[in-house]
Amino acid sequence: MRGRLRSIAPTLAILALLQVPTARAEPDAGAPAASSPAPECKVRDKASIAKARSILEQIVKVAAGPMERKESLDTIKAVPSQLREGLALVRCAEASLSDGELRDFQAFEARLAKAADELEARVAAETKAREDIVLPLCQATWGVEQARAAIARERSNPGGVADLRVLHDAGEDVQRWQAEIAQQKPRYNAFRKHPFTQWQNEGVCVAETKKP
């Protein structure tokens, strides 16, 4: 998804070009201060309305696709707010529409708002799963690998005598990490809808290995 979202990111800048602020009168210096109203805007013409709608429909379609587990969530996290900004923009067009066009347009606005809410919920769920399930599972996998490597190193001691304490501690580490894997794998399977295979397939785990 990230690659597809990156490819249409410039379209959000095009939406901004369709927004034209209206002039506001300067307040009377002697008048009491009032809260600033929300900036007014208008859409220039129906061609611009159609273009804005097409752009937003494209973003909604892409955002509804599967979330790539290998990718960072940085790009997609911003999309719900961008969709809502687009929604606020296209609402400026309502006054220029006929009754029939308005009903259709309001149905589109409802779909857009729903898409933003649903994507935000999906991103939140994915973020939590990466933190609570995926990363701990990867860390447990690394723990088993490291403990087994320690056992192998000790058994291949050039002196020919293995330190039983090192072997015992590493063996306990293997058991502890395997218990963590056994706990997390069913949760992973339930969330991802498929078994865990290797940590390299999970972006949050790859990013963890690259930390200094």
Greater confidence (25 vs 150) lies with 150
Q: Where are the beta strands (DSSP E) in the chain?
A: 20-21, 41-42
At residue 139 the predicted structure's pLDDT band, cuts being 50, 70 and 90, is very high
Greater confidence (78 vs 35) lies with 78
At residue 1 the predicted structure's pLDDT band, cuts being 50, 70 and 90, is low
| Mean pLDDT for the stretch of residues 72-90 | 85
| Mean pLDDT for the stretch of residues 32-61 | 66
Which residues neighbour 18 within 8 Å (Cβ) at sequence distance 6 or greater?
43, 44, 48, 51, 52, 89
Q: What amino acid is encoded at 163 in this protein? A: D
Average pLDDT, the chain: 81
The answer on pLDDT for 2 being more than 70 is no
User: What would you report as the CA-atom Rg of the chain, rounded to the nearest whole angstrom?
Assistant: 27
The pLDDT value recorded for residue 92 is: 75
Distance CA 177, CA 156 (A): 23
pLDDT digits (tens, 9 = 90+) for 160-204: 788 899 999 999 999 999 999 999 999 999 999 999 999 999 999
Where helices occur in 130-210 by DSSP H, the ranges are 135-155, 164-192, 203-209
Report the alpha-carbon angle 51-53-59, nearest 5: 105
At residue 30 the predicted structure's pLDDT band, cuts being 50, 70 and 90, is low
